[in-house]
Amino acid sequence: MKRFVFIFLILTLLAFTRTSYAEFSFSNISQNDFLLKQGEINLVLPGEYFEIRINEQDSSNFSIDYDKNLIELTREENLSASKIYYFKTISDVISNTKIVVKSNKESSKPITYDVYISPADDIPLVTIKDIHDNPEKFANKFVRLKARFLGWARPTNTSDIWGALTTKSDTVIEDNTGAAFISGANFMYKTDSSVLFIAKIKSDKRVGFKIKLIKLLK
């Protein structure tokens, strides 16, 4: 009940305030979208460039272990307080791999990045209703969705908005099967037509599922 009251308050607020929406553009993607994160599976596409950033607290030297049949280290960059390693995916085969960063300091633990390589076309294309009807099937998996970004606007084909509203920066997406909240967008996107993108689904005991935007597809 509280969730529906909260949604109603958001929609009511929009009736009296003017919301600024970002023009949908692939150039708006933050550089952080290509920065690998620890503690989660990082999706990279064939031919895609990405990077890892190591914060240097001392004068440590690092070694990098990775599968050279899958990814290529293209260059390194030393900054005042960090070191950046730039990579490119050279395989188009679905693979799970790791990048392990080791310091020459005995007290330092290795830093591990989990990487999942997959062509976009091999990631299942689903609808919002598919996720709503069977969230456990898609939990902790990557999916492709084709939907409109509505910002905080009310859906045109339904009165229900499925999924979890995680933060105030979450937006609403809608396809011809339903509408849901999505997190992970750097801007309050609003599009006139459907956009193809990759998302990750997580289970949520309260509302069934959460959708997080991972990559926009051109």
117-162 tens-digit pLDDT:
999 999 999 999 999 999 999 999 999 999 999 988 899 999 999 9
Q: How far is CA 128 from CA 148, 152, 194, in A?
A: 11, 17, 13
Q: What are phi and psi of 51, to 5 degrees?
A: -150, 160
The alpha carbon of 35 is separated from its chain's Cα centroid by a whole number of angstroms, namely 11
What is d(CA 134, CA 90) in angstroms, rounded to the nearest whole number?
34
Residue 59: pLDDT band with limits 50, 70, 90: low
What is d(CA 6, CA 12) in angstroms, rounded to the nearest whole number?
10
* Domains along the sequence of the chain with CATH: 2-28+121-216 (2.40.50.200), 46-116 (2.60.40.2020)
Query: Percent helix, strand, coil in the chain (nearest 5)?
Result: 15, 45, 40
Residue 166, helix vs strand vs coil: coil
Which of 47-51, 160-164, 181-185 is predicted least confidently?
181-185
| pLDDT at 15 exceeding the cut of 60 | no
